[in-house]
Amino acid sequence: MSFATPPKPYLAVPIQDCGEPLAPINLEGVKLIHPHPYQKLGTDYQGRSPYMLRTGVLKRLDQARLTLADIEPTWQILVFDAYRPIAIQQFMVEYTFAEIVARDGLQGQSLTPEQRENIYQQVYQIWAIPSDNPLTPPPHSTGAALDITLLDQSGEPVDMGGEIDELSPRSHPNYYQTAQPESDVEKEQFQLYQQRRELLNIIMESAGFLRHPGEWWHFSQGDQLWAWQYNQQHPDRQKIAYYGRVE
Q: Which of 94, 188, 215, 247 does the annotation list as catalytic?
A: 215
Q: Do the strands 30-32 and 76-81 form a parallel or antiparallel pair, or are they unpaired?
A: parallel
Inter-residue contact 245 to 137 (CB < 8 Å) = yes
DSSP string of 164-188, one letter each residue: TT--SGGGSTTHHHH---SSHHHHH
Helix pair 113-126, 86-103: axis angle to 10 deg: 120
Inter-residue contact 22 to 14 (CB < 8 Å) = no
Inter-residue contact 50 to 36 (CB < 8 Å) = yes
Strands across the sheet containing 76-81: 30-32, 76-81, 145-151, 218-220, 210-211
Told to judge if 182 belongs to the known catalytic residues of this protein, a careful annotator would answer no
The catalytic residue positions are 215
